[in-house]
């Protein structure tokens, strides 16, 4: 049995510190490229064998340690014979490890699932608060209705592919260092469909699919966050050979609203009072997601105070209730005053006592409640 003497880490393009996961992913990637059923390169089979051997050694902690310490000689000394596996088993191992049929060796003709489509929709924060339905246009490849997806001009029918007898796959027996093995691959004549179209459909040129403009009413749930995706199952591109359609993923962008800052399900806003309003108390308009509401601020309202409007925040996505709105009070101090105003303020100051600015003991606690 031939043994490669090339460095296993080098073969997988990894450093010696590579994790098990790194090894697995590197092998997975290379195997997809180099598998003899997939690759056209003349040395693909040889390289695949080397890479598979490297993976076999490095994916096992015992043999990896042996190799790390003593190299190829260590493996031989430990009685390890590389390459003592076959491609058939390898495919099974892949299914078990990675949950997919890496080389399409399942035996049956693969009915490829259609590709997914990505779309983006932009909405305002207030729309995110109440939920909204948007009509989203996109291009999708659909089954051709003229030929019902089989690619043959109506009135004609596809013939059974003579190369594969309709099975869509061809078998090839080859010899390798492992001995004889059977390779199954997609039939090159019919591309795996098992049928050959002799008179292509004029609408789709025989592909069985065509591009159509579609619109989709997408319901965006209340409480959605910026960047979240909505998956619409089965509305993506049509599958090949009758395979199921892909999905549409709609990414939702929620525009920032200059009036509010969103933090999870809570929102923050500010209200501006002037010193007289803050000192004497006032009714002020406060913006909420549902529009302005009037709030009463008592005499002596301080800058930095926070008014919590329970249940005025964003709805909880797929849940119950809503977050809160926290309104931060900003008190505007005059920047420009007339002589008369100056006199009045000086007069005011003259009449002030320590009672005028008596500390509110709970001020700091109130401030802290902004950050909860
Ligand atoms: Zn057609
Ligand atoms: Zn065929």
- What DSSP assignment string belongs to 23-89? HHHHHHHHHHHH-TTT---TTHHHHHHHHHHHHHHHTSHHHHHHHHHHHHHHHHHTT--TT-S-HHH
The whole-number pLDDT of residue 81 equals: 59
Determine the distance separating the centroid of ligand 2 and the alpha carbon of 104, expressed in angstroms: 16
The whole-number pLDDT of residue 259 equals: 94
Determine the distance separating the centroid of ligand 2 and the alpha carbon of 366, expressed in angstroms: 76
The whole-number pLDDT of residue 210 equals: 85
Ligand whose nearest atom lies closest to the CA of 207:
1
Determine the distance separating the centroid of ligand 1 and the alpha carbon of 28, expressed in angstroms: 37
In Å, how far are 22, 166, 351 from 241, measured between CA atoms? 36, 13, 90
Ligand whose nearest atom lies closest to the CA of 149:
1
Determine the distance separating the centroid of ligand 1 and the alpha carbon of 232, expressed in angstroms: 26
Determine the distance separating the centroid of ligand 2 and the alpha carbon of 48, expressed in angstroms: 26
Determine the distance separating the centroid of ligand 1 and the alpha carbon of 167, expressed in angstroms: 22
Residues 33-72 as b/e (b if ≥16 CB within 10 A, e otherwise) read ebbbbbeeeeebbbbbbbbbbbbbbbeeeebbebbeeeeb
The whole-number pLDDT of residue 369 equals: 62
Task: Indicate the pLDDT class of residue 61, thresholds 50, 70 and 90.
Answer: confident
Determine the distance separating the centroid of ligand 1 and the alpha carbon of 92, expressed in angstroms: 37
270-286 tens-digit pLDDT: 999 999 999 999 999 99
CB 250 within 8 A of CB 230: yes
94: closest CA among 84, 106, 79?
106
Determine the distance separating the centroid of ligand 1 and the alpha carbon of 238, expressed in angstroms: 13
Task: Indicate the pLDDT class of residue 163, thresholds 50, 70 and 90.
Answer: confident
Determine the distance separating the centroid of ligand 2 and the alpha carbon of 201, expressed in angstroms: 19
Q: pLDDT averaged over the chain?
A: 82
Determine the distance separating the centroid of ligand 2 and the alpha carbon of 155, expressed in angstroms: 22
In Å, how far are 42, 52, 167, 274 from 106, measured between CA atoms? 25, 20, 13, 75
Determine the distance separating the centroid of ligand 1 and the alpha carbon of 103, expressed in angstroms: 29
Determine the distance separating the centroid of ligand 1 and the alpha carbon of 44, expressed in angstroms: 37
HSE-up (13 A, CA, CB side) for residue 214 = 18
328-370 tens-digit pLDDT: 999 999 999 999 999 999 999 999 998 888 876 666 666 666 6
Q: Name the more confident of 242 and 225.
A: 225
- pLDDT above 60 for 310: yes
Q: Name the more confident of 196 and 279.
A: 279
Ligand whose nearest atom lies closest to the CA of 194:
2
Determine the distance separating the centroid of ligand 1 and the alpha carbon of 210, expressed in angstroms: 8
Determine the distance separating the centroid of ligand 1 and the alpha carbon of 145, expressed in angstroms: 6
The whole-number pLDDT of residue 177 equals: 62
Determine the distance separating the centroid of ligand 2 and the alpha carbon of 193, expressed in angstroms: 7
Mean pLDDT of the 7-34 span: 86
The whole-number pLDDT of residue 262 equals: 93
Burial class of residue 288, CB neighbours in 10 A (0-12, 13-18, 19+): buried
Task: Indicate the pLDDT class of residue 197, thresholds 50, 70 and 90.
Answer: confident
Q: Could you say which DSSP state residue 241 is in? A: G
Q: Name the more confident of 145 and 40.
A: 145
80-105 tens-digit pLDDT: 655 544 444 454 444 434 434 444 44
188: closest CA among 172, 206, 210?
172
- pLDDT above 80 for 266: yes
Determine the distance separating the centroid of ligand 1 and the alpha carbon of 197, expressed in angstroms: 11
The whole-number pLDDT of residue 272 equals: 95
Top mean pLDDT of 7-16, 33-42, 126-135, 170-179 is at 126-135
Determine the distance separating the centroid of ligand 1 and the alpha carbon of 89, expressed in angstroms: 40
Determine the distance separating the centroid of ligand 1 and the alpha carbon of 247, expressed in angstroms: 22
Task: Give dist(CA 294, CA 310) in Å, integer.
Answer: 15
């Amino acid at each position: 049995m031939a043994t490669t003497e090339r460095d296993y880490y080098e073969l997988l393009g990894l450093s010696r510190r590579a994790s098990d996961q790194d090894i697995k992913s590197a092998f997975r990637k290379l195997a997809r490229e180099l598998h003899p059923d997939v690759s056209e390169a003349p040395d693909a089979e040889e390289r695949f064998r080397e890479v598979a051997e490297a993976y076999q050694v490095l994916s096992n902690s015992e043999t990896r340690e042996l190799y790390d310490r003593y190299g190829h000689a260590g493996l031989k000394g430990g009685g390890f014979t590389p390459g003592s596996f076959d491609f058939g088993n390898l495919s099974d191992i892949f299914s078990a490890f990675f949950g997919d049929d890496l080389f399409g060796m399942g035996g049956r003709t693969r009915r490829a699932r259609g590709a997914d489509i990505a779309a983006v929709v932009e909405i305002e924060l207030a729309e995110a608060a109440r939920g909204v339905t948007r009509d989203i246009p996109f291009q999708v490849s659909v089954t051709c209705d003229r030929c019902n997806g089989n690619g043959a001009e109506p009135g004609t029918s596809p013939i059974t592919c003579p190369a594969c007898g309709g099975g869509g796959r061809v078998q090839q027996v080859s010899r390798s260092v492992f001995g004889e093995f059977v390779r199954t691959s997609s039939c090159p004549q019919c591309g795996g469909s098992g049928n050959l179209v002799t008179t292509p459909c004029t609408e789709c040129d025989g592909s069985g699919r065509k591009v159509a403009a579609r619109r989709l009413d997408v319901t965006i749930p209340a409480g959605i966050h910026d960047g979240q995706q909505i998956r619409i199952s089965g509305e993506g591109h049509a599958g090949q050979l009758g395979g199921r359609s892909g999905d549409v993923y709609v990414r939702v962008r929620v525009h920032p609203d200059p009036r509010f800052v969103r933090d999870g399900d809570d929102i923050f806003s500010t209200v501006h009072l002037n010193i007289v309003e803050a000192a004497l108390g006032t009714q002020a308009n406060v913006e909420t997601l549902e529009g302005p509401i009037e709030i009463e601020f008592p005499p002596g309202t301080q800058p930095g105070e926070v008014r919590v409007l329970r249940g005025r925040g964003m709805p909880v996505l797929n849940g119950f209730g809503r977050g809160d709105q926290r309104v931060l009070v900003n008190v505007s101090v005059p920047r420009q005053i007339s002589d008369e105003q100056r006199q009045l303020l000086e007069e005011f100051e003259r009449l002030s006592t320590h009672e005028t600015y008596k500390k509110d003991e709970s001020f700091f606690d109130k401030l802290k409640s902004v950050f909860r």
